[in-house]
Structure 1
Amino acid sequence: MTGVTAGSAGAVAAATRRPPAPRGSSRRRARLRETLTGYAFVGPNLVLLGLFLLYPLVLAAVLSFSRYTGFGSPEWIGIGNYADLLSDAVFWRALINTTVFTVATLTLSLGLGLGLAVLLNKALPGRAVFRTIVYAPMVVSGVASGLIGVLMFDENTGVVDKALIAAGLPPIPWQSNGGAAMVAVILMTVWGRTGFNMVIYLAGLQGISEELYEAAELEGASAWQRFRSITVPLLGPSTFFLLIMNVIYSFQVFDLVFVLTGGGPGNATTMLTTYAYANAFTTRAQGYAAAIGMVLLVLMLGFAAVQWRLNRGRDVTG
């Protein structure tokens, strides 16, 4: 009798026992928890990104199709601002200046940064001190760099012209000559950017195995051949990163130019950023300034897209 009762209880327990959940459902719930956890971590950043980047960007894009002085309501004019850009001589001058400035600073700062990185990657006395000295200008703000440039290149009291006069050479009209003013802006920018490029290249160099150089040297490769065939190709990812960063910086340069030359003389150093600023806060043509900003954004995105396509997979293959 007891056996029958025990058997009946076991049958009832087996009948009422809940079947185990499917394994696929558990995996889906785990993935959902991981997804929600990830969004919880990145959520605050996404909110800040949308509030302080995407939202102003959309407003600027809408404003670029309007005529607006900062007072009252914007007047919708369609592509009127962009049509005016095509016939604006100062805009084209600013675009040419920005292109020249970008090419010059990119070439000089990358070349100097690579050369200093190769030099300071070797065991030299006081290597850490020299690295610090080269990188130090990077921590100086653009306004401070502009003020240093004024002290260096002022036509009347500048250190450079005084040194030239002391050496028996004629002074250079840094403020009144357009070409000299652009050279001053380029030199101050190269001074400030070379240290950053050097640090990135140093990181890339320290990831290259010394065995490659030893094998090449045993094969009779010269120092230049080792640099050209090993160093430069294996620094491809670093160069790609620096190209993007330096071009974006050059297209966005404002504070140094504003303090050092103010865009003069005669718009010789006017960049797209300084021209947009002048339209927004001097002539109060804020819709026109927004259109210049949109052109600048498209140019930077276009360059980044081209570089990404040309160097796609290079960070993997070297």
Structure 2
Amino acid sequence: MKDLIELEPTHVGDSVFDGAPEVHVIRRSLYIPFHENRESCGLYYIHKEAVEDSVPKRFMNSIIDISNNNPSKTYSDIYWGGYLDPHYGHFCIETLSNLWGYKKGQKILFHTLFGIDQLLSLPWVSYYFQFFGIERDNILEVSGTSSIKNLTFSKPSFKINEYIYDCFPEFLQKTKYEKRNTFCLKKKIIYVSRRGLKSGTYSITNESLLEDNLQKKGVTVLRVGDIKLEDQTSMFDNNIIISFSGSFLHNSIFVKNSKGICYCVDEIHSPEFSRKTFHMLDYSSKALFKYFIVDVNKSDAEAGFGSSFLIKNIKDLVEHMLVTAETMRSI
């Protein structure tokens, strides 16, 4: 396809580590719940130094001054769950990466701006909590500055653009295979469409035309909103998944040796922009993914989306998808 650019994988071998990161018990710690201005909140040692890696860097406190925060309540024997992100993609790779050391029945504390019941109303949060054995009664909600005795702190097994431990994909894949696989399609080329989403980073205004052309060529077309959560991971098993870049592709980490093709509308919405993140996930799961930037025109943003794009030559793109997918089948 004219003007289609393939993105070469970023070297990530030195950022993928064997086994699991350390787990230790912080005998005495101080926790201040998340609040709107994000200042002076989070997890601290008792001497009031922030606990490193307790939350993603983008949520690190802008002001570290908690000298006047005195605990109003004391808790004990808690597992630190890290930041609970309501965004599906970040939830999969950041929230879940903290749970590899969680033992069923432990009390768990999440750092979040939202109420737990509000978060559990999100289908993926309630599904994966059940998936990993986290029950509502296990989740601790803290309303004020609190002292915690014996907090189990597991270093995240994955950090965006920085590192990944083998235990993260192994933990997800092992748990997935203990669940019943309800997705029946095998050895298919499946295009996952963004069409039908009500909001997001971007939309593709002529994606319906792309769907029609792919279906005429025998490609199975599914829309993200119509795929059951339990199938969003299972469908990567023995199929070649094609999609534009987005949170959906993070599901591939649940399946070892998955194969897929990711198309990007520009560098901002590509693995090149997020540097090593996608490539670390692929490398650690022994996945085979190819990444391409497609020739598009930017159009007026549709309601609910940050930007919108128009694919210039759909027939050429369809041909590229088919040829690339057939090539990957033989690898």
Same fold (TM over 0.5): no
TM-score (norm: length of structure 1): 0.20
- Relative contact order, CA 8 A, sep 6+: which one is greater? 1
TM-score (norm: length of structure 2): 0.20
- The answer to which structure has the higher helix fraction is 1
- The answer to which structure has the higher strand fraction is 2
